[in-house]
Amino acid sequence: MIRKPIAIATSKPARKTYLNTILFVSTSLVLFGFAVVAYAGFYWSWVPALGVERTVWLQFAPGQHPHGIVPLDNSLVTRQEYDIQLELHMPRSPLNLNAGNFMIHVNFLGPNCKTPSLVPGVEHLLPLSRITKNEDVLFSSRRPTILTYESELVSGLGKLINAPLYVLGWKREDEKITVEMAEGVSFPRGNKNIPSAVEVVIEKDSGEVQIYGCRIFMRAKLSGLRWWMWNWRIGSAIIGVGAFWGAEMLGCIVGWAILKLCFGGREKERVGKGQEIEKSEDAIKEEATDDEPDLSDTPRTFPTVRGQMPLIYPPVGIKKEEDEEDKILEEAVILPLGGDADDEDEDGEGSWQAGRRSDSGLGTSFSEGGTGGTARITRRRSRGGQANGQ
């Protein structure tokens, strides 16, 4: 009882099943890891950063507008719309209030433009003449701006109310101006169209401008697949990993089937040839054995005690043939030799019955002459029986 389950569990088909299961599970796990890595790479390359922020360090040089350049490090992607904003932190000084309107110029530079290294303060600043070439500019925008106007009365009341805050340093007389430089800007497909740096120029011809700081914001307007992948991260990850995994498994199964079809066909041909050889050998053996006589058709002789004849057993087939002959002879009606054709129905049957009554059963005599044919047939049968008995 115990050996049978063990034999089944350790049989060749079972071992083959175990091996195939282990290979399938291990391959599935490895492909699942590849699917996770593939989806992570796809997410990283396809979904952009929702917001890119850079601080621009402006350069104030004699005879030039305040300007600055900052690398973007491939933070932007192609075929994606962006809203670009510029924030200026300026004091509400009399110089800035009297400056009025001034222009802000923003240029997005291509990868062919050589940007300086990011060293705060000096080394990342470039002269304006090196970065205003048309072949280096991918996108350009100019927008006006101005400090918020306040009357002297409103300004005086505000300063009076906020005087304690100004004294304690909790509030300062400054203003942050946010300028919408562009809306829905996108860059065409191609590595040469990816901005590598951005340049900001503060243009004021009539006088100087005092600025605390400058920052630029690039906010992505997600749509379509990017929007779903950003807002539904878990669901998108499950679907994406499943899609990559399914594609990998399908490719693996197809590849395995092709290899099995290519290399397994030869093995089948070999097995088929071997089976044909075995069948031909079996056919030859059957033809050879068909010519041999059946042992049951041979009479069998067994010795007995001294002084007696040996026992002979005739074959079954011969015995059956003799029984059939006896049955045929018993049922047959044989006419006498001298009988007329007109009296065969009456005299033949009467003579046959008379012969049977006068027959002694020894097969050596008969009582009437008309039964000579029957006597001769009976004598032949008796002789055949004696020969078989001897």
Q: Each residue of 151-164: pLDDT tens digit?
A: 888 888 888 888 88
**pLDDT at residue 216, rounded to an integer:** 95
**pLDDT at residue 351, rounded to an integer:** 47
384 or 12, which is more confident? 12
Q: What percent of the chain has pLDDT over 70?
A: 61
**pLDDT at residue 73, rounded to an integer:** 84
Cα separation, 171 vs 162, whole angstroms: 8
**pLDDT at residue 385, rounded to an integer:** 46
Q: Each residue of 177-214: pLDDT tens digit?
A: 999 999 999 999 888 888 989 999 998 876 688 899 99
| Sequence-separated (6 or more) residues with CB below 8 Å from residue 302 | 310, 311, 312, 313
- Does the pLDDT of residue 52 top 80, yes or no? yes
- Does the pLDDT of residue 274 top 90, yes or no? no
- Does the pLDDT of residue 219 top 90, yes or no? yes
**pLDDT at residue 206, rounded to an integer:** 67
**66-80, 259-273, 282-296, 323-337 — which one is most confidently predicted on average?**
66-80
Mean pLDDT of the chain: 74
Confidence of residue 271 (pLDDT cuts 50, 70, 90): low
Confidence of residue 75 (pLDDT cuts 50, 70, 90): confident
**pLDDT at residue 378, rounded to an integer:** 45
**pLDDT at residue 176, rounded to an integer:** 93
CATH 2.60.40 is the classification of domain 50-221: no
The model carries a pTM of 0.56
CATH 2.60.120 residue spans of the chain: 50-221
User: 259-268 burial, b for 16+ CB within 10 Å, e for fewer?
Assistant: eeeeeeeeee
Confidence of residue 91 (pLDDT cuts 50, 70, 90): very high
- Does the pLDDT of residue 331 top 60, yes or no? no
- Does the pLDDT of residue 174 top 80, yes or no? yes
Confidence of residue 169 (pLDDT cuts 50, 70, 90): confident
**pLDDT at residue 256, rounded to an integer:** 86
Confidence of residue 327 (pLDDT cuts 50, 70, 90): low
Confidence of residue 63 (pLDDT cuts 50, 70, 90): confident
- Does the pLDDT of residue 236 top 60, yes or no? yes
- Reading the block at residue 290, the tokens are 């068909």
